[in-house]
Amino acid sequence: MANYFSSNFILGILGGGQLGKMMLYETRKFDIATHVLDPSPEAPCRIGCDYFEQGDLMDFDTVYNFGKKVDVLTFEIEGVNIEALEKLEAEGKKVYPSSRTLRNIQDKGVQKQFYKTHGIPTSPFFIFQNKNELNEAIVRKELHYPFVWKSCTGGYDGKGVNIIRDAGDINPLPDESCIAEKFIPIKNELAVIVARNPSGDVKTYPVVEMEFHPEANQVEYVICPARIDATVALKARTIATKVSEAFEHVGLLAIELFQTLEDEILVNEVAPRPHNSGHYSIEASYTNQFEQQIRAILDLPLGNTDSKVGGIMVNLVGAEGHTGEVVYQQIEEIMAMDGVTPHIYGKKQTRPFRKMGHVTIVNKDISEARKIAEKVKKTIKVISKQNNNYANT
């Protein structure tokens, strides 16, 4: 067994954003040395790693040469050069999660087909290479309104996803490869994080619930545990385990799920890394998702995934109308509230809707936590210095 702790071992991380930064809290805890590659000289990871390299994550040579210098390579963002990972793997480098997982999920069409092939429940879909093929399927009456259009490669955080209700909604769509999914009336949006190590040990975290803003269609609260029946929760965890095993995934896999009106569970999509839906675990779980990721990719024993306390997470995103040097207005007021911990990612510049941090609220009573979360959301504002006076008037 490799000695990772206070040794010459080096873990390489592609991507230096907030997920990497929170992973580095754990490598520091274990005294595991790290190298980080990111294009931004101001990447949040910069302060926490042992060696920082500025470079393009999509460039073959940059990723390959970075990977050569580390013992195990991982990533905190999916947009990396896969060919470089494949070459490193072929030369015997340990890359976790594997390039194969990335190949199976980077394209939404390939990902959906993977679920179908492996008997994993997901909404019915068509794959089209271009807009013309999509139009023809409508003319042939194979595809019916309403449906959900998703770009195969362009989507992130709701961009590249459109609900198509009639022919007028089709005109503005870009001409590119896409999927058309059956529109599912959703009772709840849920997520389960599964950890799996190279030895095949598997553990699932409790089911979390994504509560959406009624109008803005943005996730407002991530709530753990989800306020759902135990039978539905068990079904969700069982399906999530099946997904992780189908991918033979190593590391964390965050699985986003729909609970239908009939209490069916459908897999929407996965992320092969620590996930926004698991941030609550830093304060609320026996083993937080970042520590678990380190344990999983280094083939260490997986930690207990149970919660110690109820947890809710609120994203801190840049306020509309504010661009520039960031200020966290009324942060002290929220810190005076019971069980409230802010996490500030360290991005110096705010922009409307940019993810700047998050806040965790813990309470043994989840409905009490939910009330405090609402107060947090109303109190703290992520604004820019330049607009300070304007915002106060």
Tell me the residue ranges of DSSP E strands in 110-218: 125-128, 147-151, 161-164, 178-182, 186-196, 202-204, 208-212
How many residues at the interface with ligand ADP, by CB under 6 A? 18
Identify which of 26, 38, 18, 77 has the alpha carbon closest to the alpha carbon of residue 316.
Answer: 18
List the interface residues with ligand ADP, window 34-93 (CB under 6 A): none
Q: Which residue is nearest to ligand ADP (CB)?
A: 184
Q: Which of 189, 211, 283, 299 binds ligand ADP (CB under 6 A)?
A: 189
268: contact with ligand ADP by CB under 6 A: yes
Cα–Cα distance, 298 to 228 (Å, whole number): 34
183: contact with ligand ADP by CB under 6 A: yes
Query: Which stretch, 147-155, 225-233, 310-318, 365-373, contacts ligand ADP (CB under 6 A)?
Result: 147-155
For the bound state, the minimum distance from the C-beta of residue 183 to ligand ADP, rounded and expressed in Å, comes to 5
253: left (phi over 0), alpha (psi -120 to 50) or beta: beta
DSSP string spanning 281-327? HHHHBSS-HHHHHHHHHTTPPPPP--BSSEEEEEEEEPPTT--EEEE
User: Can you name the residues that pair with 196 across neighbouring β-strands?
Assistant: 202, 251
Query: Which stretch, 26-34, 151-159, 273-281, 338-346, contacts ligand ADP (CB under 6 A)?
Result: 151-159
Instruction: Indicate the pairing of strand 324-329 with strand 381-384.
Output: antiparallel
Q: Which of 77, 110, 148, 309 binds ligand ADP (CB under 6 A)?
A: 148
Q: Which of 154, 155, 225, 303 binds ligand ADP (CB under 6 A)?
A: 155
Judged by beta carbon, residue 66 or residue 125, the one nearer ligand ADP is 125
Judged by beta carbon, residue 36 or residue 270, the one nearer ligand ADP is 270
For the bound state, the minimum distance from the C-beta of residue 256 to ligand ADP, rounded and expressed in Å, comes to 6
Work out the end-to-end distance of the chain between its first and last CA atoms, rounded to an integer number of angstroms: 62
Residue 217, C-beta contacts closer than 8 angstroms, at least 6 positions apart: 158
Cis amide linkage into residue 342, ω under 30° from 0: no
Identify which of 123, 214, 207 has the alpha carbon closest to the alpha carbon of residue 161.
Answer: 123
Judged by beta carbon, residue 158 or residue 174, the one nearer ligand ADP is 158
Judged by beta carbon, residue 257 or residue 297, the one nearer ligand ADP is 257
Q: Are 327 and 349 in contact (CB under 8 A)?
A: no
123: contact with ligand ADP by CB under 6 A: yes
- In this structure, how many other beta carbons lie within 10 angstroms of the beta carbon of residue 268? 19
The DSSP call for residue 274 is: -
157: contact with ligand ADP by CB under 6 A: yes
Q: Are 37 and 57 in contact (CB under 8 A)?
A: yes
Per-residue b or e along 74-102, where b marks 16 or more CB atoms closer than 10 Å to that residue's CB: bbbbbebbbebbbbbbeeebbbbbbbbbb
Judged by beta carbon, residue 148 or residue 344, the one nearer ligand ADP is 148
For the bound state, the minimum distance from the C-beta of residue 163 to ligand ADP, rounded and expressed in Å, comes to 7
Q: Which amino acid belongs to residue 201?
A: D
Judged by beta carbon, residue 259 or residue 268, the one nearer ligand ADP is 268
For the bound state, the minimum distance from the C-beta of residue 44 to ligand ADP, rounded and expressed in Å, comes to 22
Query: Which stretch, 50-58, 156-164, 238-246, 307-315, contacts ligand ADP (CB under 6 A)?
Result: 156-164
156: contact with ligand ADP by CB under 6 A: yes
For the bound state, the minimum distance from the C-beta of residue 148 to ligand ADP, rounded and expressed in Å, comes to 4
Judged by beta carbon, residue 147 or residue 247, the one nearer ligand ADP is 147
Q: Which of 184, 246, 337, 344 binds ligand ADP (CB under 6 A)?
A: 184
145: contact with ligand ADP by CB under 6 A: no
